[in-house]
Amino acid sequence: MKTRRVFLQRASLSAMALTVPVLNPFSVMADQISEYAKDSKTLRVAIMGLGSYGTRVAEAIQSCQRTKLVGVISGTPSKVVAWREKYGIPEKNCYNYENFDAIKDNPDIDAVYVITPNALHKDQVIRVAKAGKHAICEKPMAVNAADGQAMVEACKAAGVHLLIGYRMHFEPNTLEVIRMRKAGEFGDIRFFQGLSGFTIGDPTQWRLDPKLSGGGAMMDIGIYSINGARYMIGEEPIWVTAQEVKTNPEKFKEGIDETITFQLGFPSGVIASCLSTYNMNNLDRFYLNGSKGWAEMQPSTGYGPIKGETNKGPLTEPIVTHQTVQMDEMAAIIFDGKKPEVPVDGEEGVKDMKIIDAIFKAVETGEKVLLNLS
């Protein structure tokens, strides 16, 4: 399995514009879309890493109102040629991993979206920043919190944005649940459950190479439950416990986690119970329980459509192409200073990396690990 998820859906922004309720400030608004269309400031992006997810992002950008694909960075010349022909990319905007520092002299590129194996993110993002370009980095942003923090500091020093590819932070049904929780419609939050997993295929892929991935299922899919627990509950965890199960050590070698269950504790007393695995299918579920109500989302983080219900009925926000909305929202963040409902900046990414570091430590020691995400 080379795609990141098994739930695939494409829908056009035009359909979204017709169905978005204009009174809901947490949804992607029809008038917001028209605002994108009339805004003259377009985010010109080069994609680094032309694999399956890079292709998905490129296709989604074709429906964007404020983002345009203008360049590519790849170590595979044949892919560069194919993308040039398909997307009309000028030859002068095409680079490889050795020479892409030259983007500093290319005024046609505003930002680079880094979609390469996890262990490469740190050095590549820092090089993008030193070239004076905004960096968008796929999650997980790095292989540990220290590397993530170095990326944040490099981008700050260069005066450029660092944004993480948290597409769910712009997904309408997700934002509706967050709105309901903030409005007190669920009462006092008591419990969250996050289940994230699928059965991974090709044993030779980079995700099962610890030198490239920095870990197994936790880095790839478990991060959704970590991040989801934070935005669904609306607090930052203060401790973590975790347990690992490995049934196939030949496939899941040292440094590659197969299945980890983990628990997060929050200041208010809320507990999150989560599972991350590369050995079970049909695991893409969030459940939030409060004193007055509940929300369940399944699928909760797949490519779409995101489905769910609450104690008040089904979630009916518009179906969108996540990456299309994400990229236009990121253009608004970079050019307009827009503040998203849930952050997507580098600091947000570092918080998730601190939790992952703590989960691995809890697995190793068998002890509760305290967290400080401030």
Q: Where in the sequence numbering do the catalytic residues fall?
A: 139, 224
Tokens encoding 231: 């935005």
* Percent helix / strand / coil, the chain, rounded to 5: 40, 20, 40
Q: Which of 303, 237, 227, 300 is nearest to 265 (CA)?
A: 237
Q: Which are the contacts of 319, defined by CB distance < 8 A and separation ≥ 6?
A: 9, 11, 15, 16, 304, 305, 306
Q: Which of 66, 48, 47, 49 is nearest to 58 (CA)?
A: 47
Q: Which of 113, 92, 114, 90 is nearest to 103 (CA)?
A: 92
- CA-CA distance, 113 to 166, in Å (whole number)? 13
